[in-house]
Amino acid sequence: MKPRVCRVDDDGLEVVGAFPGSVDVHFDGWRGWSAAIDRVSEEPFVVPWPKRLRPWLDGVSQVSVTHEGEQLFEGEVSFGSGTGRVELVDRHGTQIIIDKWGLQQRPFEVRRAGGAVEMMTQMAEQVLEVMRRDCGIDGWISFGTLLGAARSGAVIGHDSDIDLCFLSERATPAEMIAELWSIARALTDAGIQVKHKSASFITVVYEAPDGGMDGIDIYTCFYVGDLLYETATVRAPVPRSAIMPLRQLEFEGRLMPAPAEPDRMLTVSYGPGWKVPDPSFRHQPDRETTERFHDWFGSLMTHRRDWVSVNTAAAAKQDSSGSSFARWVTGQLEGRPACWTSDRGRWPTPGTMPRRDTGPWPTTSRTRDEALPEAARSRGCPRVRPGATSTCWTCATSSPPGPWRRAPRAPGWSALVGCWSLWRNRCARRSGASPPWRCVPAVGSTWRA
């Protein structure tokens, strides 16, 4: 059935037919959103506007919807109050798009003249140099950045950041977490700001020349047997020769490190049709891949932007004394060791975070929850379950006795990443179900792929 857009209004796009791909939605000629629609229906159905696009939809706009070059809809549409024109422009005057993840981005195609592309490329070179010089780790351009380099030797117009990867040779997730933290520390020592997104993914952030903040993503890649794990989207048999030794690939007028076989790496990530641009392409890893990454490395990104916005607004209204819970935590931290252990049940403070040269890490035996507030105990936080005798691979979270191998001790904040994800999910569910972790049985000297 031929795809057709019946109506465009405040609710979204009312469509009918087969959409085995994506549609591009333009507002007064500007492509503000590319939506992936994989549905076939003889009855009209509504594709809603993404949450972060809705605040901009107030006014009148000439809207056009296209699918694979064919125009499906064009007409003047009134949104919200219908006053003025719809303008997808941020507070710095830069046009924005809503990307495949439903997030607001500032695409390269309108930022090159302002120096954003040049600065980001220079920053990527600096990051790679710090990794190589201070950590002995060779990184390379990857994902969308590699895609642009392989296609045209430049950034992709609708992209908004640079992606870097490195191959970890560490034996366990806990050791990989510590390795990524060593990279983050080296970057911080070099005067570069870093945000942690998960225990296998960090972002370098800096002020862009045209206003706002830009970012460069750094991902941990590793092998389990013959399977390559590349962020939380790739789990596939890829020979090491496809990555190492690295080669040089032209990107934005300079040579950047790239995998030995870019075509093979891009095929694994984007499929055999990677040479054809698709702004709405979205990685859709299988459950096995996502569960493994989540269990091994956790995540700090669930609703993070929303919580940052809420907490920033709330902080502006509160006095400096903080909440009663914050005062309780402060009291627990005063004069305590810098690393959390389940013997003591205490958290580290950023100012007292131990380094590798300050002595051995505390050891863990059994969990005691006497020092924790009733709220934490009553919610069944997996971090404070009494009577546990073994340690989870990824984050040293106490887990039921069983044939699990103990993880090497990772630095305190590293260990907390997985713990936070488990605690958040457990407390959010507030049920009697088992904590949503999956420890990995020790099988010889390898771990399950």
Instruction: Name the amino acid, one letter, at 105.
Output: Q
Residue 152 lies in a domain: yes
Report whether pLDDT(268) > 60. yes
Residues of the chain above pLDDT 90, percent: 46
Does 203 lie in the same domain as 57? no
Residue ending a domain, among 88, 117, 134, is: 88
Report whether pLDDT(331) > 50. yes
Does 273 lie in the same domain as 191? yes
What is the Cβ-side half-sphere exposure of residue 59, based on CA atoms within 13 angstroms? 12
Mean of the per-residue pLDDT values for the chain?
Answer: 77
Query: Does residue 279 have a cis bond before it (omega within 30 degrees)?
Result: no
Does 114 lie in the same domain as 83? no
The CATH number for 13's domain is 2.60.40
Residue 354 lies in a domain: yes
The CATH number for 121's domain is 3.30.460.10
- Whether 5 and 15 have beta carbons less than 8 Å apart is answered as yes
Sorting pLDDT into bands at 50, 70 and 90, what band is 271?
confident
Residue 319 lies in a domain: no
- Whether 258 and 315 have beta carbons less than 8 Å apart is answered as no
Domain that holds residue 254: 109-297
Residues of the chain above pLDDT 70, percent: 71
Does 357 lie in the same domain as 249? no
pLDDT tens column, 111-139: 999 999 999 999 999 999 999 999 999 99
Q: What is the pTM (predicted TM-score) of this model?
A: 0.69
Report whether pLDDT(388) > 70. no
pLDDT tens column, 406-431: 333 333 444 444 444 444 444 444 44
Cα separation, 56 vs 96, in Å, equals 10
If 0-12 CB within 10 Å is exposed, 13-18 middle and 19+ buried, where does residue 360 land? exposed
Does 134 lie in the same domain as 83? no
pLDDT at 280: 60
Does 234 lie in the same domain as 146? yes
Report whether pLDDT(397) > 70. no
Residue ending a domain, among 297, 325, 358, is: 297
Does 370 lie in the same domain as 235? no
Does 78 lie in the same domain as 137? no
Cα separation, 68 vs 70, in Å, equals 6
Residue 439 lies in a domain: no
Does 293 lie in the same domain as 347? no
Residue 217 lies in a domain: yes
Report whether pLDDT(84) > 80. yes
Count of CB atoms situated within 10 Å of the CB of 191: 9
Residue 291 lies in a domain: yes
Does 235 lie in the same domain as 144? yes
Cα separation, 349 vs 340, in Å, equals 9
Of these ranges, 92-106, 111-125, 289-303, 410-424, the one predicted with the greatest mean pLDDT is: 111-125
